[in-house]
Amino acid sequence: MTSSTDPDRTHPRVELDVVRGTPTAEELAAVVAVVTEAYEAETAAAVAPRAVRPSAWRLSARSLRAPLRRDVGWGRFSG
């Protein structure tokens, strides 16, 4: 099954090669309908998730201050 775009049509033209057996026109129509429905369902479900971008608040907010070290004295005074 191959597909090519015809300039006169908006939908791609599909070629179906039967390799074994002799299907009737109704059987070929049923195969095309099932494959088309499956293809349309797959393309509708194949949506890329939206990238979550950080908000302007998160970009501009400063990070938290490191906790104070109580074991080090204040300035140069240690006692």
Distance from C-alpha of 19 to C-alpha of 37, rounded to nearest angstrom: 23
Q: What is the pTM of this model?
A: 0.44
Domain boundaries, the chain: 2-46
Q: Provide the residue-wise pLDDT of the chain in tens; the chain has 79 residues.
A: 555 555 565 666 767 788 999 999 999 999 989 988 998 898 888 888 788 888 888 777 777 777 877 777 776 665 5
**Where would I find the beta strands (DSSP E) of 1-79?**
2-5, 12-15
pLDDT at 27: 92
Could you give phi then psi for residue 33, rounded to 5 degrees?
A: -65, -45
pLDDT at 56: 82
Distance from C-alpha of 11 to C-alpha of 32, rounded to nearest angstrom: 14
